Amino acid sequence: MSANRPIERIAFAASATEDAQAARAALAARYGEASLDEAEVVVALGGDGQMLLTLHEVMGRGLPIYGMNRGSVGFLMNDYSEEALPERIAAAERAVIHPLTMRARDCEGRVHIAKAINEVQLWRQTYQAAKLRVEVDGKVRLAELTCDGILVATPTGSTAYNLSAHGPLLPLASPLLAMTPISPFRPRRWRGALLPDRAAVAIEVLEHEKRPVAAVADNSEFRDIRRVEIALDRKTSLTMLHDPGHGLDERILAEQFGW
């Protein structure tokens, strides 16, 4: 895809809402619609959830994604307009991101592998708090964390559930991951950690029969987990496109100042 020529082959991915489906129909009628195998770019229509679904769908295809907001939040999306779409795409700024790989072993010994663009979460499954042991690069950093859960977020995901759990906002280009506890009970004052994005994280579930835990990588959930290993997948690259001056770094900065 080059800024020197117009974009001709566009695929569309829309959420199931009436607004998103109407937008897809209008844009496809105006600009034509290519399949994913033929497309130069994918236009995602909906909210941030649709952007995540589309990123997962194109993973491994090398297709950039240009999102337009037809949903509720739209932090990852551009403003919606039917005008000059190929020109907007050609002029867009590119942000390259990498997902996390989650490797989760359950109580039956089965191993589940999933990718997370936003975050990997561990959650208690019952009324009892989870007890977790946290390792970073093979060294135990927390021998026992009693909590509702814990998450490891990428810079892209730092604006999502991580922010709601009072985790830090990370600039998109920062070589960091955010580790954020969810309702920590003991140690009560632990509020999380910033990790280098090369770190290998392992979380062991203590008393797993009495205090079962689920592991979630974006929208993939696995239950009755004993151990989770998390690392950044540098071999997988995903590209999001944003209008000039409205990229994720600017939005993250504005978010920190209350805009």
- Feature table: binding site for NAD(+): 48-49, 118-119, 148, 159-164
Beta bridge partners of 186: 146
Q: Which residue has the tokens 């900065």?
A: 253
Cβ neighbours of 108 (radius 10 Å): 7
Q: Per the residue annotation, which of 19, 37, 48, 106 is the catalytic one?
A: 48
| Residues 6 or more apart whose Cβ sits within 8 Å of residue 125 | 212, 213, 214, 223, 224
Beta sheet of 119-124, edge-to-edge order: 193-196, 176-182, 149-153, 119-124, 213-217, 220-222
Residue 137 annotated in active site: no
Annotated binding-site residues read 48-49, 118-119, 148, 159-164
Contacts of 204 (CB under 8 A, 6+ apart): 132, 133, 135, 226, 227
CA dist 205 to 61, 144, 226, 254, Å? Answer: 35, 9, 5, 37
Q: Taking the mean position of all CA atoms in its chain, how far away is CA 107? A: 26
Q: Which are the catalytic amino acids?
A: 48
